[in-house]
Amino acid sequence: MARTLEIQPGGSLRGTPRIPGDKSISHRAVMFSAIARGTSRITGFLDSADCLATLDAFSAMGVRHTREAAALVVQGAGRDGLRQPGAPLDLGNSGTSMRLLSGLLAGQSFDSVLTGDASLSRRPMARVIEPLALMGAAITADNEGRAPLRIAGGQALRGIDYTPPVASAQIKSCVLLAGLRAEGVIRINEPGVSRDHSERMLAAYGVDIVREGRSLSMTGGQPLEAVDVAVPADLSSAAFFLVGASIAPGSELKLSGVGVNPTRRGVIDILLAMGADIRLINERDQAGEPVADIVVRHAPLHGIDIGSDQVELAIDEFPAIFIAAACAYGTTRLTGAAELRVKESDRIAVMADGLAALGVEVSVQPDGLSIVGCPQAASFSGGRIAGHGDHRIAMAFAVAALRADAPVVIDDCEAVDTSFPGFAELAASVGLGINARPVP
């Protein structure tokens, strides 16, 4: 059923909301535990639609899991223990599931088909098909390199020395997962910095990976040994609260146990550069990932230039960052971000349209946009926004209502559950005047 978010204007955010587990790490914890030898316990697992799609896919391939107290317990099938699913694996809206599973399944003995919803079926998959084909995989796709993906089993995979066309954690992870069933050495030469959750976690599961500058390599065919994983709170989800507290006078939030991996913390660094009052305290390591408690208070922001070197480090957080920019003094300019056009929606066009609908001056370029901030108490006029079935678009405009002079209504918001189930309730608990209403 469709859902609309209605948010009353103004207010402030105060409290200690508990941000749910990291989506990227939850995906990988399930995948790696499923093909490991032994039993893994995953705490902090994100029970979102995307992560449950990954879990359901492995259930369809014979991997057993149970729930025990706060833990998801996965009985690993081993590298060679997956079974052929009886039907295509429907991955819903999850691009991470599809791209990473394509690598993991490329070297299996059985055929498989990966499908998804209308949004996922529009997203580009040629970027993972290309390196997998070079490794010896047999994958066909519909719609000019888009899902569904049909993967032929029984292919002998070989090592590869590969430079992706863009810095991408999903491409890198796909190739590494295929390498677990390949002969020879797998080497990936990254053109820029991308998230390193896969290599951190693979190392925790006993895989030997060598990093030299922007290149990493591993010998194919290594087994995984089960471990326990504590998933930190998701920085991408925390970003909406970081922005909301930064733009709303009188706000102060403490977010506990948030992952602050240096390949992910671009949103923090960008907001700090804009003048945000953000402090990291109690910094520590959790299952190989850096974690901290984050305290954020309202502060006046100013516009900045955001270059391509910062894009991958904050790729999922730009909808929230655009809201901060609209409340800042001066102009914020983003370049080198064409990748935003092939997310769950065209996030450059969709955010620009939504900001303009709320009275913000914005101009669009092929690889970015410029936002003229309005630092007055009411930065937005209020109005009705199309969510375009994109979870991050909906949540970004929800926090924009903190600086609106009239209610903000966002349609087509059911996709919020793909990454942040309970967002509306959690936001309401710290002061956002939000109401989620089903639409027949």
Q: Tens of pLDDT along 259-313?
A: 999 999 999 999 999 999 999 999 999 878 999 999 999 999 999 999 999 998 9
Catalytic (active-site) positions: 316
- What is the arithmetic mean of pLDDT over 39-46? 97
CA distances from 116 to 16, 34, 50, 147, 236 (A): 35, 21, 11, 7, 23
In angstroms, the CA 365 to CA 235 distance is 27
**Residues β-bridged to residue 65:** 74
In angstroms, the CA 11 to CA 402 distance is 6
pLDDT more than 90, % of the chain: 90
Does the pLDDT of residue 133 top 90, yes or no? yes
User: Which CATH number does 2-20+233-439 carry?
Assistant: 3.65.10.10
Q: How far is CA 285 from the centre of its chain?
A: 21
- What is the arithmetic mean of pLDDT over 22-46? 97
- Assess whether the region 2-20+233-439 and the region 23-217 belong to the same CATH fold: yes
Q: Which of 234, 221, 180 has its CA nearest to residue 32?
A: 180
User: For residue 113, what are the contacts with CB-CB under 8 A and spacing of at least 6?
Assistant: 88, 89, 148, 149, 150, 151
Angle of helix 126-134 relative to helix 95-105, nearest 10 degrees? 10
The CATH label, of 3.30.830.10, 3.90.1150.10, 3.65.10.10, 3.30.1110.20, for the domain at 23-217 is 3.65.10.10
In angstroms, the CA 366 to CA 351 distance is 14
Strands 14-15 and 305-306: unpaired
In angstroms, the CA 436 to CA 3 distance is 7
pTM of the model: 0.93
In angstroms, the CA 430 to CA 427 distance is 6
For residue 335, the model assigns a pLDDT of 97
Q: Which ranges constitute the DSSP H helices of 328-400?
A: 347-357, 391-400
Q: Domain ranges for the chain, please list them.
A: 2-20+233-439, 23-217
Tell me the pLDDT tens digit for each residue of 243-256.
Answer: 999 999 999 999 99
- What is the arithmetic mean of pLDDT over 58-69? 96
- Band of the pLDDT at 376, cuts 50, 70, 90? confident
